Amino acid sequence: MTSDLPNKIREAALNTLSVEKTAIQDLESAINEVFVRLVTFIHDETNRVVLSGIGKSAIVSQKIVATLNSTGTPAMFMHAADAIHGDLGMIQPNDLLLVVSKSGETEELKVLLPIVKSRGNKVAAMVANPESWLARQVDFVLITPVKQEADPNNLAPTASSTAQMALGDALAMALLALRGFTPEQFAGLHPGGSLGKQLYLRVCDIFPKNEKPVVLPDTPLHQTIIEMTSKRLGCTVVLDEQGQIRGIITDGDLRRMLNSSPVKKLEDLRAADVMTEAPKTIASGAMAVDALALMRKHSITQLVVEEAGTYLGIVHLHDLLREGIV
């Protein structure tokens, strides 16, 4: 490795970021009256947005489709080459075709667009060249002005594909804002991911119902420890004769008791001597993410689950970890 090679590597990488940053900044001109009309049309009159492209633009189109679908705008991808060999059946009445292209001169698009327009569908385009064939044919044209790609030969789609994806994100977020898309709606579309779980998973969905450690205030300490270990939660709740929550005993309480001076004879100790009074509780219907926030706030690893004062069980940090909430 020559001495200047590390500098060459850093220079090439930083130049790429600089060029792509400029491409995104230049997109501000695309957020114009046409952009507003397109967003309004999609929201008010469109069934689905069908994206299409060739080469790298096809890959960008697929990413935009994924973003639109995940934020509540129905979308699908149709490869431009496949479209003119049978896949045109994907496009239904009231669908909008959104074509992504850098040059706007791709031959497949010149075959595809007249057919789609003859069927009455509206067509939009993201294109870098405002004077291209594509820009002149569509109902809505969004210009992605890219002065320079990141590679020295100005050939590899880098800044242009970054600009396309950024404008696709802007389109999706504008539609999200217009629709008033809520976190709950987002969760409904992402039930399998950690983001969705944070928005819909409740404490009652995750705490173990069949492991409910409990002792009375006068339960001998050795029986209390047996209860704690048998339920494998590292703690037990202390209830009075009326079933009201009096306290909690954790592994930490036992360690502090053993380290205290002087230490009473263990056979003389009762649960009430060791417990922490007024333990932190959470309602069974509370969101799991709120349980995590409460644990973090008080630097604890478990909460007593209750409903209207009735003890239901323990939710542990491990339960949240298992569900991917943490």
Q: Indicate whether 113 and 148 sit together in one domain.
A: yes
Residue 294 DSSP label: H
pLDDT value for 199: 72
* Beta-strand relationship, 214-215 and 235-239: parallel
Burial 232-257 (b: 16+ CB within 10 A, else e): ebbbbbbbeeeeebbbbbbeebbeeb
Question: In CATH, what number is assigned to the domain containing residue 163?
Answer: 3.40.50.10490
Domain presence at residue 221: yes
pLDDT value for 195: 67
Task: Out of 155-164, 185-194, 204-213, 305-314, pick the least confident.
Answer: 185-194
Count the Cβ atoms, other than its own, within 10 Å of residue 115. Answer: 13
pLDDT tens per residue across span 85-141: 888 889 999 999 999 999 999 999 999 999 999 999 999 999 999 999 999 999 999
What is the count of structural domains for the chain?
2
The domain in which residue 94 lies consists of 5-181
Domain presence at residue 115: yes
Cβ atoms of residues 75 and 51 within 8 Å: yes
Only one residue has tokens 């969760």, namely 187
Q: Indicate whether 219 and 164 sit together in one domain.
A: no
Q: What is the 3-state secondary structure (H, E, C) of 197-231?
A: HHHHCEHHHHCCCCCCCEECCCCEHHHHHHHHHHH
Burial 57-94 (b: 16+ CB within 10 A, else e): bbebbbbbbebbbbbbbebbbbbbbebbeebbebbeee
pLDDT value for 323: 83
The answer, yes or no, to whether residue 263 has pLDDT greater than 70, is: no
Q: 224 CB contacts (<8 Å, ≥6 apart)?
A: 215, 236, 249, 271, 274
Mean per-residue pLDDT for 190-215? Answer: 80
Give the residue from 125, 151, 181 where a domain finishes: 181
Q: Indicate whether 229 and 164 sit together in one domain.
A: no
Residue 287 DSSP label: B
pLDDT tens per residue across span 272-315: 988 999 999 999 999 988 999 999 999 999 999 999 889 999 99
Domain presence at residue 91: yes
Q: Indicate whether 90 and 208 sit together in one domain.
A: no
Encoding tokens for residue 142?
A: 């969004």
pLDDT value for 188: 65
Question: In CATH, what number is assigned to the domain containing residue 280?
Answer: 3.10.580.10
CA distance 271 to 171: 61
Measured in degrees and rounded to the nearest 5, phi and psi for residue 283 equal: -70, 145
pLDDT value for 282: 95
Q: Indicate whether 285 and 152 sit together in one domain.
A: no
pLDDT value for 194: 66
CA distance 78 to 70: 18
pLDDT value for 187: 66
Q: Indicate whether 79 and 175 sit together in one domain.
A: yes
Higher pLDDT, 309 or 57: 57
Domain presence at residue 175: yes
Q: Indicate whether 157 and 234 sit together in one domain.
A: no
